[in-house]
Amino acid sequence: MADKEKDNKSLLDNIKLILSKEDSIKDQVDKDRGLERYAKDLMLLMSLVKDYYQGNYRNIPYKTISAAVVGLLYVLNPIDIIPDFIPFIGQVDDALVIGFCLRLMEKDLNKYKAWKNEQSMSKDSMFKDDANSEGKASDNKDKNVKDKKKS
């Protein structure tokens, strides 16, 4: 039991590190020729890690969130199997690791994406409902003003 708690603490510590380096990951994706094909998936992965850390989304196996963290840490780490400063070849290992992680977690990432879209749609719906109720209230106020002027 203590090992599981230790693993969870380590995972959360690594997630904190990743979240603090979110801009670095975005920069890495922008400049890394090998990662550009994974750009959308990497940003979705960052969103998943952030939602997991904040407790918004926990419907994910431990091995999947661990794979996400390991993949993102590998991209962040300047010390790779093949150093990033070597043109083109230096980015291949990053792309391979991210590609492997994404394939490993594809089903869970798609579930998260569906959940994320559902959250966005529900927020949009709530916003429209609020705007409609405000509009109706405004219409009623205008009608009351017109009725008073008639009297």
Answer whether residue 138 shows pLDDT above 70: no
Do 28 and 46 meet the contact criterion of CB atoms below 8 Å apart?
Answer: no
In one-letter notation, the amino acid at residue 42 is L
- Whose structure tokens read 């109706």? 136
Q: Give the per-residue pLDDT at 126.
A: 73
Answer whether residue 80 shows pLDDT above 80: no
DSSP 56: S
pLDDT, tens digit (0-9, with 9 covering 90-100), for 89-102: 777 787 888 889 99
Q: What is the spatial distance between Cα 66 and Cα 21, in angstroms, rounded to a whole number?
A: 17
Answer whether residue 52 shows pLDDT above 90: yes
Do 48 and 56 meet the contact criterion of CB atoms below 8 Å apart?
Answer: no
Specify the length of the chain in residues. Answer: 151
Answer whether residue 142 shows pLDDT above 60: no
Residue whose C-alpha is closest to residue 11's, from 69, 64, 56: 69
- Banded model confidence at residue 145, pLDDT cuts 50, 70, 90: low
| Whole-model pTM over 0.75 | no
What is the end-to-end Cα distance of the chain in Å, rounded? 77
